[in-house]
A and B are shown apart, each in its own frame.
Chain A
Amino acid sequence: MRFHVHIARLGVACAFVAAPASASETQAPLHTSATINFTRLPEGHVPFPEMKPPAHIPAGEQLAGFYLTGMPPDQERMMRLTNAHMGISYLLTTEAAARTYGTASFTGNEAAADTCLADGAEVARRRGMTADDTPPTWPTRNTSQLSFQFDAPPTPDSQPDVHAIHSERFVAGVDGRATLELVDAWVDGRTRGVRLLNRSTLPLSRVFVGPNELEVFAARDGEALQVVLHTGKTLPTPRFVRDRVRQLVVTLPEQDIGVSDCGHLRFALRAPPGEGQMGTVQSTAFLPPSDEELATLGDPAASDHDMKLFRMMRQRAFQLSISASSSSADPHPIVSVSLSWLGRERGSDF
């Protein structure tokens, strides 16, 4: 498989698109800071519906965007052999992924770009760790697939089969706009039935761009700030690096951590008067090699060209912070973004 790579200019965000290697094209430089006008952000709301799950959902009830499949044959066989008395169903976000799950044709995360799932079971766990006055929110652990375990056959002590699932699909727009399509559903892990709970959208505006085209979008949700981090569309090769760069880890308020492997991560920041909250990403930026090094790369058609190019890449840790805070004199939260290097650069050591 050939990797098509395009190299960006020094000192800018790194991006790779299908084209022969070239060091001549420039992109917008990275900046260290931005202050965002809270009142000019698009307005929306991320609802958290009342949790009254049905006892079960018939298998015939389906919902687009929620595709459940059972265990692959090998896994089923293993369960029987080990007398596990347990079943597992998998929730994926495209029909093709569900159809090919567990087979050689399964393309995993890549096929389900920009759609993330979160399991509402996390919410109950988190409630014990937050203050009573904090409104409940969907957990910040996003993934492109979920699994549900159930007792086979069910027993009096079995956990409920119906789960509240939150889905977010990032839809890019033009001129720095985007939309988050939010669908909440009840999912029965045993019957694989799905029932709509709630549907809404959240309009977003891009407020900052970090390394590796990491985009920061924001929206106003009452006096709260909704932040969506979105990984770049064009990511470095090879694929294992691309998959890792799609992973986002964000340090959040109240000892929470946000994690995503599905291309974006949303979290909320609240800033009542005299208070503030921050979300902080620490990750690695890929920086292009110098023109002199590129000149030694050789024939772009060579089979080892892309790997050689990758090994010339420089890496540097960075930190991106998004803050919302209010002094008692501020009529609205002050929103700001900061970007800095975290250390020295180093070569690629994969």
Chain B
Amino acid sequence: MNMSLDRLLEAMMATLRTDVIPHVGDPYARGQAIGVVDLLNNIGARIEWARAPIAEAVEEKRRLLREAGVALPAARDEPVAGTTADLLAQRDQLDMLICEKLESLSARDDAHARQALACLCQHAHDELTLQMQFVRKPLFAEIASGGGADRSSGR
């Protein structure tokens, strides 16, 4: 999942400014929190999502669709290029084509369709498995308890 980096940075700064800093009592800690806002504000224009994994995903989806006999729009058959935003848009369009193919194959009941369907399902699994290398264990326990014990107070 690639959310907009601009939006992520904006929300992090807003949360610090509105919900965190006003409640930080220690001046040094408050200054450090403002320092984080300053950093976030400055790195936005210099970073983007890692391009290589997205380009690889686009390439893999194209290969899969070609093997499944889906004619790609001309622009989708050229070497993978463009900005990260372009690649994300291409990925979404290719996912749409994969979903359309899934739909048409599901309506059939022959061996070829079952095999092609299995390839598309395997792709969905493999892609998610690859993405898991970037996913860290969530801190839900601490978030839900406000950083305290493993339980929330009564209501």
A binds B: no
